[in-house]
Amino acid sequence: MSKPFRITLALILMVVALVSVAIAVMSTPWFRQALERRLIVALEDATGGRAEVQSFHFHPLVLQAVFQGLVLHGSEPSQAPPLFFARAIVIRLSPANLLHREIHIMTLDWDGAELHLTTNPDGSTNIPGPLTRLDPGQVLGQLLDLRIGRVTLAHSTFFWDDRALEMDLSARDVALLLHLRSGPRYEGSLAASAVNVRMSGRALPTLAFSARFGFSQKEFAVQSLAWQFHGMAGQGSLTFHPLPAPQAYFSFQTSLDVAMLKPMLRLPGLQTGIVRLEGQGIYREGSLSARGRLQSHQVVYRDAQFDSGPIEASSDYSLDQSRVTVSNLKVTGWGGSAQGDGQIRLTGAVPQLTLRARLHDMNLPALLQSSQRQPRLIAQLRPAARVDGIVELTSAGKFDNLKSRFDLHLLPLATPPLGALPISGGMQGSLEINRGFSVSLESSSFETPHSLLKAQGTLVESVGPGEPPGRLQIQF
């Protein structure tokens, strides 16, 4: 047996012996009690609360700690629910804890947790603040440097003054850095990836985020927040004050795929496009208000009745409760442009849209091709012109329930499509798409290369059972 081999074997046996001794020591009741006490003291020092544990188990072979019935009392009255309770918390430590100062946790799982936050008359909460105190002249002290590979928070309920929010959460690569400033006030940063949240039985999209935050008994602030998930990315900030009445101030900038708006706006016809949204707002006395600017690029809406083609748009907006007001609206599409303002009401089963716009140089053939239900006469004539004028439009959720009033001027196209009928003139009236296509002309005058036509009346393509057909009076 060579000398190098004997040295290597001796080192291996020494390591095995040391590990065996370490496992034997960590398996003793003394070590378990010492570890339990150290973890409880660290938790109490960081939060200022009083911790209780029904039972604690430590498995040294896998470095796993199990808490059963963990309770953390804050400054709430004794008869009130505790600040935090969990039926079971399972922590699996990383061997890297032996080499690094920060805490490395491979997995953190808890089940049946409740967090109770209550607001006192002076605006403070039942979070007592850390027992750790800064030394004289010390501005900042580190409380926690934590890394977690995977987090699973199952069957959790968060209460704020008896308002409950049920949540299941899972995340990976969680990093938490927490400091204590004089005040006392906590400051820190939090980042995570592959975050999945389910609230009230509804799952949110998987996301990744990073944030810088600070909080005290009277304020919670997120100085910066950046998030990203499939089809959306953005950044923002938030400041929340619980008293004298809960209020929050926020600002944001985000970019998203319009397909994500389908369930929110209940518009399944949204196909493609990018929306950029920025704004700032406030939540106060149970109401939400915001204002900002919206831009959209290459947005396409398509359903059985309507195909918009690619549209560019921009506008200012303001949100007040369930009403969105749109101003300085500019739309480019159908070969021309439109400017106007409008309003969207989000109450009821579907959104209610009201819009007033001035059209400029719109391409009539492109506009007509957007509708899948053109009157037969219009489809056969194939009129071609540029369109200027005023349009007022209302719609209930979908473009198959649309009403419009118009005062339009028709101008000749420089190069009309092959086989189309060039026209000029003007028309005033209304349009309705509901179980069919109906155009009512109060007055109109159309001039073609070889004739002049005036029309007044109603042209109906499809009507319901028992409804009389419309009458259209035409003068040549």
pLDDT in tens, 231-251: 789 999 999 887 677 789 999
Query: Over the Cα atoms of the chain, what is R_g?
Result: 33
Q: Which residue has the higher pLDDT, 41 or 392?
A: 392
The pLDDT value given to residue 123: 67
Asked whether the beta carbons of 330 and 342 are under 8 A apart, the reply is no
SS3 at position 394 = strand
Lowest mean pLDDT among 171-175, 391-395, 396-400: 396-400
Question: Mean of the pLDDT values across residues 153-169?
Answer: 85
Cα distance between residue 47 and residue 175, in whole Å: 18
Which residues face 163 on adjacent strands? 160
- Cα 283 to chain centroid, rounded: 16
The pLDDT value given to residue 145: 79
**Mean pLDDT estimate for the chain:** 80
Cα distance between residue 400 and residue 304, in whole Å: 8
Cα distance between residue 470 and residue 377, in whole Å: 14
CA dist list (Å): 337 to 297, 329, 407: 14, 10, 16
Q: Which amino acid is at 40?
A: I
Question: Mean of the pLDDT values across residues 359-375?
Answer: 82
The pLDDT value given to residue 137: 46
Question: Mean of the pLDDT values across residues 425-451?
Answer: 84
The pLDDT value given to residue 469: 54
Q: Which residue has the higher pLDDT, 4 or 381?
A: 381
Tell me the per-residue pLDDT of 192-202, one tens digit each, with 9 for 90 and over.
999 998 887 77
Asked whether the beta carbons of 127 and 83 are under 8 A apart, the reply is yes
- What confidence category does residue 13 fall into, taking pLDDT thresholds of 50, 70 and 90? low
The pLDDT value given to residue 301: 85
Cα distance between residue 326 and residue 342, in whole Å: 5
The pLDDT value given to residue 125: 77
Give the long-range contacts of residues 53-57, CB within 8 A, separation 24 or more.
56/32, 57/32
The pLDDT value given to residue 476: 38
The pLDDT value given to residue 139: 43
Where b means 16+ CB within 10 Å and e means fewer, 146-181 reads bbbebbebbebeeeeeeeeeebebbbeebebbbbbe
The pLDDT value given to residue 342: 93
Is the confidence at residue 474, as pLDDT, over 50?
A: no
- What confidence category does residue 3 fall into, taking pLDDT thresholds of 50, 70 and 90? low
SS3 at position 59 = strand
Cβ atoms within 10 Å of 283's Cβ, excluding its own: 16
Cα distance between residue 92 and residue 110, in whole Å: 12
Is the confidence at residue 404, as pLDDT, over 80?
A: yes
Lowest mean pLDDT among 88-92, 298-302, 394-398, 419-423: 394-398
Of all residues in the chain, what percent carry a pLDDT higher than 90?
A: 28
Is the confidence at residue 328, as pLDDT, over 90?
A: yes
Where b means 16+ CB within 10 Å and e means fewer, 218-237 reads bebbbeebebebeeeebbbb
Cα distance between residue 237 and residue 249, in whole Å: 8
Helices (H) and strands (E) in the chain, counts: 5, 26
Cα distance between residue 368 and residue 387, in whole Å: 12
Asked whether the beta carbons of 270 and 301 are under 8 A apart, the reply is yes
Question: Mean of the pLDDT values across residues 72-77?
Answer: 87
Q: Which of 111-115, 116-120, 314-318, 360-364 has the highest mean pLDDT?
A: 314-318
Closest CA to 124 of 241, 295, 37, 9: 241
Cβ atoms within 10 Å of 6's Cβ, excluding its own: 10
Question: Mean of the pLDDT values across residues 68-85?
Answer: 88
Cβ atoms within 10 Å of 203's Cβ, excluding its own: 10
Question: Mean of the pLDDT values across residues 79-101?
Answer: 78
Which residues have C-beta within 8 Å of that of residue 429, sequence separation ≥ 6? Answer: 405, 406, 439, 440, 441, 442, 443, 444
Is the confidence at residue 422, as pLDDT, over 60?
A: yes
H or E element: which one contains 42?
A: helix 29-47
Tokens 């690094």, residue?
100
Where b means 16+ CB within 10 Å and e means fewer, 389-418 reads bebbbbbbbbbbebebbbebebeebeebee
Is the confidence at residue 217, as pLDDT, over 80?
A: no
The pLDDT value given to residue 132: 57
In this prediction the pTM is 0.72
Question: Mean of the pLDDT values across residues 170-193?
Answer: 85
Cα distance between residue 362 and residue 387, in whole Å: 5
What token pair was written down for 211? 């944030």
Cα distance between residue 218 and residue 247, in whole Å: 12
The pLDDT value given to residue 28: 64
Is the confidence at residue 294, as pLDDT, over 90?
A: yes
Longest dimension (CA), the chain: 117
Tell me the per-residue pLDDT of 117-156, one tens digit each, with 9 for 90 and over.
887 777 677 777 665 554 544 444 566 778 889 999 988 8
